[in-house]
Structure 1
Amino acid sequence: MAGLTLTSLGGAGTVTGSKHLLEHDGSRILIDCGLFQGQKNLRELNWKPLPVEAPSIDAVILTHAHLDHTGYLPRLIREGFTGPIICTEATRDVAELILTDSAWLQEQEAAFLNRIKKSKHSPALPLYDSRDAQRALDAFITYPFNEPLQTPKGATVQFRRAGHILGAATVDIHWGDRRIVFSGDLGRYGDPVMIDPAPVREADYVVIESTYGDRLHDASHTAETLADVVERTIRRGGTVLIPSFAVGRAQTLLYHLWSLRRSGRLPAVPIYLDSPMAINASDLLHAHPHDHRLDPQTCEAVCNIATYTRDPEESKRISRNSEPKIVISASGMATGGRILHHLKAFGPDEPNTILLAGFQAAGTRGRALLEGAHDLKIHGDWIPIKAEVANLPGLSAHADAAELMRWLSGFRQAPEKVFIVHGEPQAADTFRARIDRDLAWQAVVPRQNQVFTL
């Protein structure tokens, strides 16, 4: 195939499953390789073959390590992909945590379905296993920020900081005579932990996320809102339960809790970080000091604000403990992990609070809570939710609509086209209209598997 084409195999019309395929003269590079999450019709896409055969893909380039950008890699390996997986150093380290955990969860779910004999398939099989995850990790090649690298197929790639989480990058690809820039997930400007997204000056085409393309964050009162929630919950003798993304969000929560305690606003109650992955991700703050704003002393103090619980028995004791406390546990959308046991324990009691601290995708328990659900189905049972449900939208690690526009304003001249991905339909189309109105740039929201010639 002559020329350059772009096809979104995922992350189009949804915030999950990011996979963007570039093809040039018969060669193929995949930007991100994420897992679909949320609604069942999306999750089922993980089991369907990609429109292109895995062995035909020459390389994968990652913007960052979150599951919706990396979680399909072990399946791609299982299907025959043998090329390099290119990313920043911190992305590789975070991906090791996420892919190892994801494979373990896939294996556990298959084993559980086989035990209760409720699978449509006999036996139930994992999407991939730990061996596939390790084979994927063995294929990683890391490169520093701001240094051009040459891929085996002649594309020049450069990573720039995107904020968001450790290692997150925008990806600038010059292939043939075309230059295309992928935003990945852009972080916040002025975030207390993560570094600001770096500007990009030139591009023929831009592929930009739109998670919050129709909304603005009110970050000015984040700490105050967090303090208010904790104070009123503790005052009535309850527990504050925070479903949190293990990588990025958990560490930002620890920072705000540390700041509140230092200022005297935080009640003297125990704080638990009950997520082995979040604990390991917090350790990575020390390993990658140039990827965040915290100096070594502050980093140490922030990480020491909580009691870390790795052992499952310790986690169960937290659920049985009725004393006031703060519990941070994964997953952030309550789709799995230890948070489910805590929701069963603390959700039915009015003195407690469930504090949502990030984006909640459609079809997740977190979205159901956000929309006022009075019960949740957990481990096959309907659990009544009588605890207060509060929201902390200003804590998001994603740029809001104004911040996305701020990043776009860094380009010196209009690109030929802007592709808007990684957003639910309303957010993506609202952002498309804003680009048209404020910048007069041509923008489009791709459909999944729609092919664009660049």
Structure 2
Amino acid sequence: MDLDIKFLGGAHTVTGSKYLLDFRGPQRRHQVLVDCGLFQGLKELRLRNREALPLEPADIETVVLTHAHIDHTGYLPRLYKDGFRGRILCTAATHDMLRILLLDSAKLQEEEAAFANHHGYSKHRPALPLYTTADAERVLELVQSFGYDTPVPVADGVSVVFRDAGHILGSAIVQMQVQGDEQLKRLVFSGDLGRYDTPLLHDPTPIATADVLLVESTYGNRDNRIADPEGELARIVNEALARGGCLVIPAFAVGRTQTLLYYLKRLRRLGRIPRVPVYVDSPMAISVSGLYPRHPDDHKLGEGNVFEFDGLRFVQEQSESKNLNSLGGGAIIISASGMCTGGRILHHLTHRLPRANDTVLLVGYQAEGTRGRSLQEGATTIKIFGEQVPVRCHVTLLDGFSAHADRSELLRWLGHFSKPPKRTFVVHGDEAGALGLQQALAQELHWPSVIVPEHLQTVELFRGI
């Protein structure tokens, strides 16, 4: 058997992760895709979502997912639209999350196309969604879920095991075993690795052996852990409320919102922040929070409604969301998306950015080309719905709440390998992150053959195994 890998995304960028494995034998051929993410951020990256893949989607037998984030799964409905009818394999919690995230993504695609057509700011006439809700519904019918630590057949001689990655609920490191005609090979896909010693999720599972490793590098060039995240959040909340305004937090609906709710609940109970109303204005975040009681073994919080507290209000209806614009101050609003690329947060930013007494708190990685990155870098205006919105409010960053392992934590996880993989590919990181981790692996761990692949590059992994 021969095996090649083609990097369809996640190469020199933090988005669009897609890795195509091409297994070829004398009487068999299998094409397996690991992750199927949507490109986000810079326009040049987003345009790749509209480009045809350099393969026939109908030829892909199986998609294996590391976790549910849209930059790892959001292209699935488009893959279905273009002819894919194979199996999609993931963990049980990822399966539950997919229904929430893919339907939300499809709805946003449809709404943004309709909005662009109504206001006439799209170059395309008419603007069309990348995929529809119907596409998302149909691709969800192809999903099969499995528990952690259980071998799952993928193709002839190929199986995977999902190991807890500690990144979000249901996230997995994928261990793939390939039994060739003469040799056994092991491939490991880190997916997105979580942090160590967090209050919500388990530590990423240590892995000891791999012939080929794909490792993420979101924070491959820097550390971002803060000594006292509770104290820092308390300080920012108190300062924001003391200004007489509202605190608006763009937060990923999956993972980041739940972490914030955990800390806000704890800080209120300890009397370290005022008991002001906390609004979660993201139907998706509300749905995701409701998954935790269904998967108690996948997190540390136990059973029951683990995030609820007096003063917490879940905002479902659009009309109620709009009413939040009239709040003069004394409230915390958490809304998606975390990089300010879409969703209800855009309406909050439209009203809050011009207000000098309001505060916007960024609590995670902001990809290049996103509104969040522009705010982080001190932009004085932000374009929202075709209009330039002035930025007069306070903008602050609390980086330590990222769900991604930082440089030291990546090296800690990589240090569990009993010997270096024969080949290591550094993926899912921007230029600085990927090259930074590549350098660390070469200089600190003395690993050979550490590669930062190019977009659409094909690499021969094995011949005659």
Match of 1:131 in 2: 134
2:350 match = 344
**SS in structure 1 opposite 2:356?**
coil
Q: Match for 1:52: what amino acid?
A: L
Any idea what SS the aligned residue of 2:337 has?
coil
> How far is 1:318 from its partner?
0.8
SS in 2 for 1:253: helix
Match of 1:254 among 254, 261, 285: 261
Partner of 1:60: 63
Q: Which residue of 2 aligns with 1:222?
A: 229
2:110 to 98, 103, 107: 107
Q: Which residue of 2 aligns with 1:178?
A: 185
Query: Is the contact between residue 38 and residue 364 of structure 1 (CA under 8 Å) also seen in structure 2?
Result: yes
Amino acid at match of 1:11: G
Q: CA deviation at 1:234?
A: 1.0
Indicate which of 323, 326, 330 corresponds to 1:320: 326
The CA distance in 2 between the partners of 1:44 and 1:87, in whole Å, is: 27
| Offset from partner CA, 1:311-357 (integer Å, 9 cap, x none) | 11111111111131111000000011111111111111121110000
Structure 1 residues 6 and 303: alpha-carbon distance in aligned structure 2, compared to 1, 3 A threshold: farther
Which amino acid in structure 2 is aligned with residue 430 of structure 1? G
Which position in structure 2 is the counterpart of 1:234?
Answer: 241
Give the C-alpha shift of residue 87 in structure 1. Answer: 0.3
Q: What amino acid maps onto 2:61 in structure 1? A: D
Match of 1:309 among 298, 305, 315: 315
Q: Does the alignment pair 1:405 with 2:411?
A: yes
Secondary structure of residue in 2 paired with 1:323: coil
Shift of 1:382: 1.0
1:374 aligns with 2:380: yes
Aligned-partner SS, 1:27: strand
2:44 is paired with a residue whose SS is helix
Instruction: In structure 1, list runs of 5 or more residues that go unmatched.
Output: none
Take 1:418 and 1:220, find their aligned partners in 2: how far apart are those partners? 31
Structure 2 unaligned regions, length at least 5? none
Give secondary structure in 2 for the equivalent of 1:104. Answer: helix
Distance apart, 1:112 and its partner CA: 2.0
Residues 13-43 of structure 1, C-alpha deviations (whole Å, 9 max, x = no match): 0000000111111311000000000010000
Report how far residue 97 of structure 1 moved: 0.6
Q: CA deviation at 1:411?
A: 1.2
Q: 1:381 Cα shift?
A: 1.2
Determine the structure 2 residue equivalent to 1:265. 272
Map of 2:198 onto structure 1:
191
Residue 426 of structure 2 is matched in structure 1 by 420
Partners of 2:342 and 2:124 in 1: CA distance: 22
Matching of residue 355 in structure 1 with residue 354 in structure 2: no
User: Secondary structure of the residue that 1:404 maps to in structure 2?
Assistant: helix
How far the C-alpha of 1:195 sits from its partner, in A, is 1.0
Q: Which residues of 2 match residues 31-180 of structure 1 at below 5 A?
A: 31-175=34-178, 176=180, 177-180=184-187
Distance in 1 separating the partners of 2:187 and 2:54: 22
Deviation for aligned residue 1:304? 6.0
| Aligned equivalents of 1:18, 1:303: Cα separation in 2 | 37
Tell me the distance in 1 between the aligned counterparts of 2:80 and 2:177. Answer: 26
Q: Which residue of 2 aligns with 1:205?
A: 212
Is the 1:254–1:305 contact (alpha carbons within 8 Å) kept by the matching residues of 2?
no
Partner of 2:398: 392
For 1:50, the aligned partner's letter is L
Give the Cα separation in 1 of the matches to 2:387 and 2:119: 14
Question: What CA distance in whole angstroms lies between the structure 2 residues aligned with 1:166 and 1:303?
Answer: 21
Contact 1:282 1:303 in 2 (8 A): no
2:350 maps to a residue whose letter is K
| Matched residue type, 1:148 | P
Report the Cα distance in structure 1 between the residues aligned to 2:176 and 2:275, rounded to whole angstroms.
50
Q: Describe the shift of the 1:83–1:301 C-alpha distance in structure 2 as closer, same or farther (beyond 3 A).
A: closer
User: CA-to-partner distance for each residue in 1:237-272, whole Å, 9 max, x for gaps?
Assistant: 111100000010000000010111111101121110
Amino acid paired to 2:400: G
Distance in 2 between residues matched to 1:266 and 1:318, nearest whole Å: 21
Q: C-alpha separation between the residues in 2 aligned to 1:161 and 1:374? A: 41
Superposed displacement of residue 302, structure 1: 4.4
Q: How far off its partner does 1:233 sit? A: 1.3
Of Structure 1 and Structure 2, the greater helix share is in 1
What is the letter of the counterpart of residue 35 of structure 1?
L
> Do the aligned partners of residues 450 and 57 (structure 1) sit closer, same or farther apart at CA in structure 2, a change above 3 Å counting?
same
Deviation at 1:201, TM superposition (A): 1.5
Instruction: State whether residues 183 and 208 of structure 1, in contact with CA within 8 Å, keep that contact through their aligned partners in structure 2.
Output: yes
Aligned to 2:306: 300
TM-score (norm 2): 0.95
Asked if the contact 1:356/1:390 (under 8 Å) is kept, the reply is yes
Find the aligned partners of 2:123 and 2:254 in 1 and give their Cα distance: 33
- Read off the aligned partner of 1:16 and give its amino acid letter: T
Equivalents in 2 of 1:305, 1:156: separation in Å? 47
1:348-405 Cα shifts (integer Å, max 9, x gaps)? 1121110000110000000001001111111111111111111111100000011111
Give secondary structure in 2 for the equivalent of 1:111. helix
**Contact 1:254/1:303, CA 8 A, preserved across alignment:** no
CA distance in 1: counterparts of 2:94 and 2:281, whole angstroms: 23
Shift in Å, 1:303: 6.2
User: How many Å separate the matches in 1 of 2:124 and 2:233?
Assistant: 45
Q: Kindly report which structure 2 residues correspond to 1:413-452, keeping only aligned pairs within 5 A, or say none.
A: 413-442=419-448, 443-452=450-459
Matches of 2:306 and 2:154, distance apart in 1: 38
1:20 matched to which residue of 2?
19
AA aligned opposite 1:20: Y
SS of match in other structure, 2:379: coil
Normalising by the residue count of structure 1, what TM-score does the alignment of the two structures yield? 0.97
Aligned residues: 452
CA deviation map 1:278-305 (0-9, x unaligned): 00000011111111110226x5354666
Q: Label 1:164 to 1:304 Cα distance change in 2 as closer, same or farther (>3 A).
A: farther
Kindly indicate whether the alpha-carbon contact (under 8 Å) linking 1:4 and 1:178 is maintained by their aligned counterparts in 2: no
- CA distance in 1: counterparts of 2:162 and 2:457, whole angstroms: 26
The verdict on how the C-alpha distance between 1:403 and 1:347 changes in structure 2, with shifts beyond 3 A counting, is same
- How far is the alpha carbon of 1:126 from its aligned partner? 1.1
SS at match of 2:207: coil
Whether the aligned pair in 1 keeps the contact of 2:277 and 2:311 (CA below 8 Å) is: no
Q: Secondary structure at the match of 1:319?
A: helix
Contact 2:289 2:307 in 1 (8 A): no
